[in-house]
Amino acid sequence: MLYFDYGAGMPVDEQVFEAMKPFFTTHFGNPSSLHEYGDAVREAVEAARAQVVSFVGAGEGDKVVFTSGATESNNLALKGVARRARRRGTHIVTTNIEHWAVHTPLKALEKEGFEVTRVPVEPNGIVDADAVADAMTEETVLVSVMFANNEIGTVQPIKEIAERAHERNIPVHTDATAAVGRILVDANDCGADLITLSSNDIYGPKGMGALYIRRGVRIEPVMHGGGQEWGIRSGTENVAGIVGMGAAAELAQRRLTRDIAHLSHLQTKLIDGAFEAIPDTHLNGDRQQRVPNNVNFLFDYIEGEAMLLSLSNYGIAASTGSACSSKTLSASHVLSAIGQSNEEAHGSVQFNMGRLTTDDDIDFLLEKLPPVVDRLRRMSPLTPKGFFDR
Ligand code: PMP
């Protein structure tokens, strides 16, 4: 199987898995217990927190809160900050390309009386920082813009947005799920006040994440209970998951330069190779301002799902749109946001690469793609007459 769906799921790194193992059996204590069983796991949880603190560049007084994943981190950031600030204002600014895990909690906040402005991105899939700033009002209590888009890979101008928001004392949240491990996500560098981090996106276990919270940001808990994680996220800690995420973060930080070089090389090879071999091919999203793991092509006249089926006959696993919405038939809201028609959006295919992707994998893909596209175009009613005589 040739796996090009790293955006949907990654294998847990062997070293990470090894680090986690004892916390299922030998070290089974509860970190809140005051005896030795508790001490050992409490220390492990704090060591893992230190690893994530270092990974995200958290400073003195900042917090890293462990959660059950990016979805929960986004819910905590959005609902937590908005509800706490309700008396000061009820307006939130975001974009029209956010993942459902931001879009849907914001919908829920709208039902609670908040007003949300969704700033449209430019045709290259990047939001203009000035447009985000223009959307801020006296009532704005939060700005949420994703670090990188999970479908078209575009990197958003978080630093500029944070600067503009901070001029008005508005905190900024960024969902960095599709950026971590692929580019530098550093709290000081980007200036965001809340950062959603995902464990599986750095070769850690699924169902595990964290939220970085800058010192001074006021947040109301979403999960109430025993008061763990400073009372911000109650519930007995997922110790093995936390240890895994810590180990994954340490590895990702250590390997970042190497991972970026590897992915960038593969990305260039795939984009250039496809452009050369297949006419009427377009790259969705910006070519430069994009995470190095992501390639999203629009092949004119054909259907993305048919492409996936044909590719899977060769053992190639890719995707259309977001893994989380692959069961719906509606066109991707991200591709609609960059101006694609329904037809075009349905013709797009995404290839997501990772640490284990090799040059040989790209060679194989580049060998199989042109004949697959050619065959589907010959069957497609959308292919213009005379296309094959050009
Ligand atoms: N945000 C983004 C940008 C994503 O791509 C995803 C899915 N990987 C999520 C949030 C949700 O992640 P999870 O399902 O792990 O909570």
Q: Where are the domains of the chain?
A: 13-252, 256-369
Using a 10 angstrom Cβ sphere, with 0-12 exposed, 13-18 middle and 19 or more buried, the burial of residue 276 is: exposed
C-beta 199 within 6 A of ligand 1: no
How, if at all, do strands 140-144 and 115-119 pair? Answer: unpaired
Residues 6+ apart with CB under 8 A from 33: none
Residues 6+ apart with CB under 8 A from 133: 161, 164, 165
C-beta 207 within 6 A of ligand 1: no
CA of 101 from ligand 1 middle (Å) equals: 7
Element (H, E) at 70: helix 70-85
Using an 8 Å Cβ cutoff, are 285 and 124 in contact?
yes
pLDDT of 143 reads 98
pLDDT of 193 reads 98
Residues 6+ apart with CB under 8 A from 108: 79
Looking from the CA of residue 200, the nearest atom of ligand 1 is 15
pLDDT in tens, the chain (390 residues): 899 999 999 999 999 999 999 999 999 999 999 998 888 999 999 999 999 999 999 999 999 999 999 999 999 999 999 999 999 999 999 999 999 999 999 999 999 999 999 999 999 999 999 999 999 999 999 999 999 999 999 999 999 999 999 999 999 999 999 999 999 999 999 999 999 999 999 999 999 999 999 999 999 999 999 999 999 999 999 999 999 999 999 999 999 999 999 999 999 999 999 999 999 999 999 999 999 999 999 999 998 889 999 999 999 999 986 554 555 567 889 999 999 988 888 889 999 999 999 999 999 999 999 999 999 999 999 999 998 888
DSSP state of 320: S
Of 3.40.640.10, 3.30.1510.10, 3.20.20.20, 3.30.1490.100, which CATH number belongs to 13-252?
3.40.640.10
pLDDT of 331 reads 83
For 256-369, give the CATH class. Answer: alpha beta
pLDDT of 329 reads 63
| Extended strands (E) in the chain | 2-3, 63-67, 91-95, 115-119, 140-144, 172-175, 194-198, 209-213, 281-283, 294-299, 316-317, 348-352
Instruction: Report the predicted TM-score, pTM, of the whole model to 2 decimal places.
Output: 0.97
Using an 8 Å Cβ cutoff, are 380 and 302 in contact?
yes
User: Where do we find the tokens 């009372």?
Assistant: 231
Looking from the CA of residue 148, the nearest atom of ligand 1 is 3
Phi, psi of 135 (to 5 degrees): -80, -15
